[in-house]
């Protein structure tokens, strides 16, 4: 934290600020702690996140968790991108605690990232930890590197997908997943 705080003071000076003024006096340490939190995904592995939440279950239909909030930092500019992640899988004799899918998305999002890699890493982690018949992941995000600088397009949303197993080989399975994502599934609430 001390090394990062010192670096932050240098950055503040480089942009013409006084790091000792009242409003900024504690900013370097706050920034360092915040950055460590934003990047705490480096401290975890998929196996640690899943832990013992894999259960034998004779269920062979699609499981989808939609609208998982994600917040990450673009590795090119170190500014946020935020959005939603959707994860679907077809079990192969094992199911995983639903919250663990959200925790996997969180773990990979809390690293310096590009959205394409984030999407792929989540899909690969589901495959490695529960060996489903297939997995599909979609991430939709707004990138502040496109909103606050560069092209400054505030409405632009980037969508990435990654499919494995039956979602890749079976167009009907893939179509069912995307149909669920687009709201063509039964409404219960």
Half-sphere exposure (Cβ direction) of 35: Cα atoms closer than 13 Å: 18
Q: Give mean pLDDT, residues 112-121.
A: 98
**What are the tens digits of pLDDT across the range 44-64?**
999 999 999 999 999 999 999
Mean residue pLDDT across the chain? 95
Is 115 known to be catalytic? Answer: yes
Residue 183: predicted pLDDT: 80
Is 182 known to be catalytic? Answer: no
Is 76 known to be catalytic? Answer: yes
Is 86 known to be catalytic? Answer: no
Is 166 known to be catalytic? Answer: no
Residue written as tokens 């990979």? Answer: 108
Is 77 known to be catalytic? Answer: yes
Strand segments, DSSP code E, in the chain are 54-56, 63-74, 80-90, 94-96, 112-113, 134-143, 158-165
Phi–psi pair at 117, nearest 5 degrees: -70, -40
Point out the catalytic residue in the list 74, 85, 121, 176: 74
Angle at 148 between CA 73 and CA 24, to 5 degrees: 75
**What are the tens digits of pLDDT across the range 146-184?**
989 889 888 999 999 999 999 999 999 999 999 999 886
C-alpha distances out from residue 189 to 84, 107, 143, Å: 20, 29, 31
Question: Which residues does residue 136 pair with via DSSP β-bridges, in sequence order?
Answer: 88, 163
In this predicted structure, the answer to whether residue 185 has a pLDDT above a threshold of 70 is: no
Residue positions counted in the chain:
189
Point out the catalytic residue in the list 17, 29, 77, 140: 77
Q: Give mean pLDDT, residues 95-117.
A: 98
């Amino acid at each position: 934290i001390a090394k990062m705080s010192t670096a932050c003071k240098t950055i503040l000076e480089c942009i013409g600020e006084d790091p000792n003024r009242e409003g900024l006096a504690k900013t370097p340490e706050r920034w360092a702690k915040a950055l460590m939190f934003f990047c705490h995904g480096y401290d975890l592995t998929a196996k640690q996140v899943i832990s013992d939440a894999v259960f034998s279950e004779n269920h062979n239909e699609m499981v989808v968790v939609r609208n998982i909030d994600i917040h990450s930092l673009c590795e090119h500019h170190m500014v946020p991108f935020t959005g939603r992640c959707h994860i679907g899988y077809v079990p192969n004799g094992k199911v995983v605690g639903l919250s663990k899918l959200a925790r996997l998305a969180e773990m990979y999002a809390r690293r310096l990232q590009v959205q394409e890699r984030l999407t792929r890493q989540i899909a690969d982690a589901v495959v490695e930890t529960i060996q489903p018949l297939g997995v599909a992941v979609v991430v939709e995000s707004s990138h502040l590197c496109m909103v606050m600088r560069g092209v400054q397009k505030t409405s632009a949303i980037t969508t990435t997908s990654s499919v494995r197993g039956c979602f890749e080989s079976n167009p009907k399975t893939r179509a069912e997943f995307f149909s669920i994502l687009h709201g063509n599934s039964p409404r219960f609430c």
